[in-house]
C-alpha cells in the first residue's frame, strides 16, 4: 500500500519475488512482513515522483549503478510503476502525476487567450487551435503510422496488430478535438501496447510483440508519457475493438 512518511516521501510495499502487494505486517516477528501469496519477505521502496512531462525512465539502477532495468515493468497499477533490476534484483519505483503536460509546452500564439489562462490556472492542456496548413489530428497520425509501417514489418509486427492499434488510436481522436504533435507521437505507441495485451489475453496475438523500449526508439516517444496515454486510452468508450 502507498503511504507518506514524515518527510512526505511516497512509499510502496510489495513482494520483490511475485509482485503481490498483499502481506502480513510484523509477521512472523516484529519489523518483518511476509507476502500472503508466496511467503517471501516484502520490501518497502520510496517512489520517485515524476511530475508533468518526464524524459524517459532512467535505465541505470539506483542501487548497483548498472544498466539493468527490465524492458517491462515488474509492477504497474494506476500511476505507480516499479522496475526490477536484472543485475542486482532490487526495485526502483516511480509515481506518475496526473498532469500530462508542462505549462512550458503551451504556445500562447497557438491557443486563444482564454484557453491559455484557464490551462495555466487549472494545470491541464485544453484543445489546441490548428495552425495554418496543419493537417487534422487523424490525418497527421495516419501519416506518422504509415511512415513507420515498413520498419514495423521488418521487425516482424503482424499487419493485423498495426491495423487494430490504429483503430484504437483513431477511436480516441474521434472522441476528442485537436492535439499537439507531441501528444500524437505517444498515442499510437500507447494503443499498440494495449492492443498487443488484449490480443494476447484472447489468444489471438500473432507476430512480433514490440516492447516499450522499441516503441520509444521507433516513435521517439518516452515511455512514461506513453504509459500515461495507455491509461487514458483504457478509459475510452468502446476502447476494445469489436473485431477482436
Q: What H or E segment, with its residue span, contains residue 47?
A: strand 43-50
pLDDT one digit per residue (tens) for the chain, 244 residues: 454 444 446 889 999 999 999 999 888 888 899 999 999 999 999 988 765 444 455 667 888 888 766 667 888 887 788 888 888 888 888 887 644 444 444 444 444 454 445 444 444 443 344 444 445 778 888 888 999 999 999 999 999 999 999 999 988 887 765 677 778 889 999 999 999 999 999 999 999 999 999 999 999 888 888 988 888 888 876 555 445 5
Q: Where do the domains of the chain lie, and which CATH numbers do they carry?
A: 2-96 (no CATH), 102-129 (no CATH), 134-234 (1.10.472)
Q: Are strands 43-50 and 91-96 parallel, antiparallel or unpaired?
A: parallel
Q: What is the pLDDT of residue 57?
A: 56
Q: What is the pLDDT of residue 151?
A: 93
Report how far apart, in Å, the C-alpha atoms of 67 and of each of 8, 14, 115 are: 29, 23, 42
Report how far apart, in Å, the C-alpha atoms of 180 and of each of 18, 160, 162, 222 are: 39, 27, 22, 15
Measure the CA–CA gap between 158 and 154, rounded to whole angstroms.
10
Q: What is the pLDDT of residue 110?
A: 46
Q: Kindly report the pTM of this predicted structure.
A: 0.49
CA torsion angle for 191, 142, 242, 193 (degrees, to 10)? -10
Q: What is the pLDDT of residue 237?
A: 60
Q: What is the pLDDT of residue 192?
A: 96
Three-state DSSP class for residue 5: coil
Q: What is the pLDDT of residue 81?
A: 83
Q: Where are the alpha helices (DSSP H) in the chain?
A: 113-122, 137-155, 159-175, 181-201, 212-219, 223-234
Amino acid at each position: 500500500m502507498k503511504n507518506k512518511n514524515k518527510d512526505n516521501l511516497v512509499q510502496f510495499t510489495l513482494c520483490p519475488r511475485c509482485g503481490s502487494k498483499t502481506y502480513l505486517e510484523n509477521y512472523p516477528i516484529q519489523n518483518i512482513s511476509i507476502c500472503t501469496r508466496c511467503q517471501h519477505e516484502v520490501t518497502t521502496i520510496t517512489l520517485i515522483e515524476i511530475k508533468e512531462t518526464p524524459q524517459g525512465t532512467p535505465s541505470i539502477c539506483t542501487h548497483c549503478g548498472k544498466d539493468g532495468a527490465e524492458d517491462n515493468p515488474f509492477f504497474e497499477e494506476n500511476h505507480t510503476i516499479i522496475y526490477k533490476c536484472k543485475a542486482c534484483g532490487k526495485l526502483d519505483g516511480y509515481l506518475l502525476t496526473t498532469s500530462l503536460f508542462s505549462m512550458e509546452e503551451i504556445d500562447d500564439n497557438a491557443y486563444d487567450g482564454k484557453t491559455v489562462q484557464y490551462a495555466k490556472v487549472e494545470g491541464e492542456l485544453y484543445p489546441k487551435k490548428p495552425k495554418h496548413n496543419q493537417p487534422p489530428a487523424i490525418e497527421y497520425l495516419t501519416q506518422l503510422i504509415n511512415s513507420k509501417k515498413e520498419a514495423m514489418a521488418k521487425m516482424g509486427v503482424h499487419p493485423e496488430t498495426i491495423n487494430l492499434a490504429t483503430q484504437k488510436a483513431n477511436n480516441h481522436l474521434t472522441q476528442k478535438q485537436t492535439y499537439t504533435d507531441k501528444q500524437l507521437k505517444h498515442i499510437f505507441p500507447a494503443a499498440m501496447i494495449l492492443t498487443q495485451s488484449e490480443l494476447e489475453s484472447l489468444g489471438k496475438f500473432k507476430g512480433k510483440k514490440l516492447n516499450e523500449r522499441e516503441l520509444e526508439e521507433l516513435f521517439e516517444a518516452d515511455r512514461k508519457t506513453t504509459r500515461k496515454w495507455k491509461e487514458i486510452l483504457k478509459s475510452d468508450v468502446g476502447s476494445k475493438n469489436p473485431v477482436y
